Structure 1
């Protein structure tokens, strides 16, 4: 499918905004702890400055998702970027404050507001993706996630270089201004979006109703498990690798090994979910890959193998591949499952699903490092990895059971296809319906009430076939 000019422009400005936003959010990692300690702050205090970001995203994302259709995705997107950029610049002037309590207090305040902006930007961007690219949601989401992942990798490196060049303020001001420029670009290019469903002013769904759908509840669990695994690695990988006596440069490369395969393979998972494979199969595959990764890097207590550099490299590459498959596939399937279960195919539903995805990911990102640190102190790295292994084994088992249960209730072509009923009547094969054998009548599924209809029944609605 060829993209229109508007779609290409949207994709480009999203890629720039995602990259710049990720850089601004992550740039302080190499030098903020040192600055905080110079003011008298403890590791617990400045560690929670990092953690409060994800906790705030978890709290506010469902709220944004629930009211996106009223606020407007373009306004929320631009306001989110502007807020993130402004707070990034403000964070660069904290070194002027000498009182420890004031320094930490303002750090918390700015980081919370920054998280609110970033959450609004992400929730709106995911919704606009679903609106602008209805036939390529997974592939588009994956490409933008690649840009965001690259920004998270480049951020600390670029921030550290600018810190050495011009001190504490320079990286925040220069990169914050870069994000402000990206915000101006998106304001000029992005079109306005309105809710297209009937009863525009009436809320036709809620986050609670969404999460009650079993398939979406499972997707939320898989998203959280994936982000827990990421946070676990971020918090405990360095002390686990310390006995290998790696140089700081080599250690930095080990962290890149975790994110690089995610960025490389994310577009592949998106294409597969959009065009070829049921997204649930991709989630199951990703879960088993993550299980293999944590079994090797521990190594698991029941494996009589030592911790070696080659094994750790293989495990980190597998981890980036596995959690990437889970994240991309859950985003794709959640949108489809919401529509299949009676939610309208409009910007309000996109906002709800996007808010759910952002919120559950943030919750896992908050739980991951917190649980990892406690488990590392309590039982050591090898036994601590069992926690993540079990989480992902449950992801695989639950999705397999869900596929088995749903397969008994509906015909399956492997992927969801949006069709119009008139096409089903005139040309079922072109519509993608199962024609079957033994004179069986093709069935299609209604968006409005999730029931099945014969392809020959009278209706003017649109349907999804699975």
Structure 2
């Protein structure tokens, strides 16, 4: 690529510092990336070659810090999480849809187009005296569209891997919430208190919070395929075994039933945690240029599995009793084991991150991380606090059966699923995702106040025992919880980029682990606090406390948003 004469003829004998904007187009239709680089020119025939990697540019691409490249040097940059080569005509060829070099080593991607969009003399500044931007002279331009992730464009193997990850994510979180519409009443029939029942719900998330960092460390030692299939097998076995607990005799004492409930939920959480950790590593390995997009897709299935679990569990419980939901879901998970054993390649390895700066504690030192962690925690509590509390409330107030209660859980899940892609689209359009979080928490607080209904509304006599109000409140909560949860992962990614983390597997692993841990804490606190508050104060007070937590996040997010806005000026 050569520079246009008009950009260098102004100063024949002097160095000219010029700012270039590169656009890189990859062969697998991944999104084009724009890159700003400062380079000093000596001659009009100087060739510029740049392959994008933000972490070699002396700071985040969002922070506006760029590196200076001296004249005559070629900026050699290799994108993270992938190998890059430019094919040589007559030597390199494509075989079976793969990009290979003469040695036969598989290459995941090829840069097929590099365009130098514009240049701006640095000494003239990016703005003229009138405050408007300088005219940008096109040096070489190509009409580049911005490709987006497309399921149709994937190969058959990648389609199957994405389907497998989505299905396993759905099933693993289905196990978590499957028991919501019928277990509290089943436990009560065995003389188990609401608070203990809440702990049985919450121990799953607490175990995941403790195991998530460990599973990340064990992944390179155990291997991705072993952890993925092993976690799936353990989760399937524990799910089936949990259904057999109904046959434990509790006529004399119920301690055996309680111990086995805790034990199986803990082992189930370990299996699901290993499965989810391996799933994310598989996403980063197989979809290196679309990690965020594919992660968003799988998170939709996580949310749908978590929120549709009560509906599916209630329907199966009504059809065949306590053992039926666990037998059906466990059998489906067992069937997935041989399929994934065939699908996932044995030689899939997780490469060690090239970044030495990546650290969980470095992330946690940022005030933005702390605030976003609280946001994730509270957003997770919005739904999880209803697991042990909504069923007793609906059955006690309206005498509803388990399958009907499950449908009401599904109603909230349906609006969560509908709103999730819309929330993601809104986040992509806004410069700051806190603009989505704030209305999400406000909407969730309103839904909680009317679900109780809360005594602070002063309308208990008018609104109490109104089924239609509970239905509307669950719809509002489905919308609000999606707005309060979906933006949090992308905010973590932005924080990591601002801290200078490399845009590679290690960074995404830290972000995913942090997000998963905060979500797991909220998922643990919701049932445990909810069950305790239900036991002592009742359902309306439980909803009031949850609404208060949502409203507490609003001024906290507003303050951090305004502080960042003023700091940027």
TM-score, normalisation: structure 1: 0.75
Superposition deviation, residue 36 in structure 1: 5.5
Match of 1:329 in 2: 487
Unaligned runs of 5+ in 2: 1-147
Match of 1:223 in 2: 376
Match of 1:62 in 2: 213
Change in CA separation of 1:205 and 1:73 when aligned onto 2, cut-off 3 Å: farther
The answer on whether the counterparts of 2:433 and 2:491 sit within 8 Å (CA) in structure 1 is yes
1:194 maps to 2:350: yes
Superposition deviation, residue 288 in structure 1: 1.8
Superposition deviation, residue 229 in structure 1: 1.8
Superposition deviation, residue 300 in structure 1: 4.2
Q: Find 1:88's aligned residue among 215, 222, 239.
A: 239
Q: Find 1:245's aligned residue among 391, 395, 398.
A: 398
Q: In terms of mean alpha carbon deviation, does 294-303 or 255-264 score higher?
A: 294-303
The answer on whether the counterparts of 2:182 and 2:391 sit within 8 Å (CA) in structure 1 is no
Superposition deviation, residue 302 in structure 1: 4.0
CA deviation vs aligned residue, 1:271-327 (integer Å, no higher than 9, x gap): 333455532222222112212222333444443433233433332212111111222
Provide the C-alpha distance between the structure 1 equivalents of 2:549 and 2:184, rounded to a whole number of angstroms: 31
Change in CA separation of 1:130 and 1:225 when aligned onto 2, cut-off 3 Å: farther
Q: In terms of mean alpha carbon deviation, does 211-220 or 190-199 score higher?
A: 190-199
1:268 maps to 2:422: yes
Match of 1:451 in 2: none
1:144 maps to 2:295: no
Q: Find 2:411's aligned residue among 251, 257, 260.
A: 257
Q: In terms of mean alpha carbon deviation, does 157-166 or 13-22 score higher?
A: 157-166
Match of 1:177 in 2: 331
Superposition deviation, residue 34 in structure 1: 6.4
Provide the C-alpha distance between the structure 2 equivalents of 1:111 and 1:283, rounded to a whole number of angstroms: 32
Secondary structure class of the residue paired with 1:235: coil
Superposition deviation, residue 132 in structure 1: 5.2
Provide the C-alpha distance between the structure 2 equivalents of 1:331 and 1:363, rounded to a whole number of angstroms: 15
1:363 maps to 2:529: no
Structure having greater relative contact order (Cα 8 Å, sep ≥ 6): 1
Q: In terms of mean alpha carbon deviation, does 103-112 or 89-98 score higher?
A: 89-98
Question: Which structure: larger Rg?
Answer: 2
Provide the C-alpha distance between the structure 2 equivalents of 1:377 and 1:46, rounded to a whole number of angstroms: 11
Aligned Cα root-mean-square deviation (Å): 3.4
Provide the C-alpha distance between the structure 1 equivalents of 2:557 and 2:311, rounded to a whole number of angstroms: 38
Superposition deviation, residue 351 in structure 1: 2.0
Unaligned runs of 5+ in 1: 412-466
TM-score, normalisation: structure 2: 0.63
Match of 2:203 in 1: 52
Match of 1:121 in 2: 275
Change in CA separation of 1:26 and 1:132 when aligned onto 2, cut-off 3 Å: same
Superposition deviation, residue 232 in structure 1: 2.5
Provide the C-alpha distance between the structure 2 equivalents of 1:174 and 1:373, rounded to a whole number of angstroms: 28
Secondary structure class of the residue paired with 1:233: coil
Superposition deviation, residue 241 in structure 1: 4.6
The answer on whether the counterparts of 2:198 and 2:527 sit within 8 Å (CA) in structure 1 is no
CA deviation vs aligned residue, 1:9-67 (integer Å, no higher than 9, x gap): 33211222122323344444455566666767565555533332122112212333455
The answer on whether the counterparts of 1:73 and 1:127 sit within 8 Å (CA) in structure 2 is yes
1:23 maps to 2:174: yes
1:79 maps to 2:235: no
CA deviation vs aligned residue, 1:79-114 (integer Å, no higher than 9, x gap): 322221122233344455547444433332222111
Q: In terms of mean alpha carbon deviation, does 391-400 or 319-328 score higher?
A: 391-400
Match of 2:93 in 1: none
Provide the C-alpha distance between the structure 1 equivalents of 2:484 and 2:469, rounded to a whole number of angstroms: 23
Write out aligned runs for 1:253-332 (5 A). Answer: 253-274=407-428, 276-305=430-459, 306-307=462-463, 308-332=466-490
Q: In terms of mean alpha carbon deviation, does 45-54 or 90-99 score higher?
A: 90-99
The answer on whether the counterparts of 1:286 and 1:326 sit within 8 Å (CA) in structure 2 is yes
Write out aligned runs for 1:150-165 (5 A). Answer: 150-159=304-313, 162=316
Aligned length: 408
Q: In terms of mean alpha carbon deviation, does 125-134 or 8-17 score higher?
A: 125-134
Change in CA separation of 1:340 and 1:246 when aligned onto 2, cut-off 3 Å: same
Change in CA separation of 1:369 and 1:329 when aligned onto 2, cut-off 3 Å: same
Change in CA separation of 1:408 and 1:134 when aligned onto 2, cut-off 3 Å: farther
Change in CA separation of 1:309 and 1:102 when aligned onto 2, cut-off 3 Å: closer
